[in-house]
């Protein structure tokens, strides 16, 4: 019984980490945040701005891209980003 409860707790914690990091539950919005950070960060660093402060307009434009994807596609792309470091 303890093993089952431990596994449930472990799964709950693993599922909560991305939600806490991104502040979103929707995988497509998480992907949009990742894409916006990837696109804006290097440019902001070049001009002396903080690369971690992505403007809302940039995230909105990336949500236009992810709005054409299913939740499964967004989840797969997020998994690829997290595990391979490519894209």
Tens digit of each residue's pLDDT (9 = 90 or more) over 9-54: 988 888 888 888 888 888 999 999 999 988 887 877 777 777 778 8
Query: DSSP code of 85?
Result: -
Exposed, middle or buried by CB within 10 Å (0-12, 13-18, 19+), for 73? Answer: middle
The pLDDT assigned to 14 comes to 80
Q: What is the pTM of this model?
A: 0.73
pLDDT-derived band at 85, boundaries 50, 70, 90: low
With a CB cutoff of 8 Å and minimum separation 6, the contacts of 87 are 77, 80, 81
């Amino acid at each position: 019984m303890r093993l089952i409860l431990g596994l449930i707790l472990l799964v709950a914690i693993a599922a909560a980490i991305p939600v806490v990091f991104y502040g979103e539950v929707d995988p497509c919005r998480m992907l949009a945040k990742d894409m916006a950070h990837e696109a804006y960060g290097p440019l902001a660093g070049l001009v002396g701005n903080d690369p971690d402060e992505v403007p809302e307009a940039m995230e909105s434009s990336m949500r236009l891209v992810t709005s054409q994807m299913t939740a499964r596609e967004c989840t797969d792309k997020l998994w690829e980003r997290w595990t391979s470091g490519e894209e």
